[in-house]
Amino acid sequence: MTKNENTDNIWNRGEIDSPCIKICVIHPESRLCTGCLRSIDEIGTWSQLTPEVRRAVMNDLPNRTKLITKRRGGRAARLKNQADAQRD
């Protein structure tokens, strides 16, 4: 196997795949991963969950998107807040 060869197929198994998209950031309020929308507990126990529980989680993921859509504003919001604070 060469270094450039994709190795994701090593983890393929005959079960419900993980929804992981390799963007692992936990949203501070919802406590959901912003990449796959699973909870920390679901991520940690995924390999031990039954196919039925995994299927239920997968079916619920589209309902979770609205739980993490609120953005805090990033750099633009920080600059605005700093400018507002300096005016006061």
Cα 44 to Cα 47: distance, rounded to the nearest angstrom: 8
Contact 33, 43 (CB under 8 A): yes
pLDDT digits (tens, 9 = 90+) for 44-53: 999 999 999 9
Q: What is the pTM of this model?
A: 0.62
Is the pLDDT confidence value at 33 over 90?
Answer: yes
Looking at residue 7, what DSSP letter applies?
A: -
pLDDT for res 17: 84
Residue 68 and residue 34 in contact, taking contact as beta carbons nearer than 8 Å: yes
Q: Is the dihedral of CA 25, 26, 29, 32 positive or negative?
A: positive
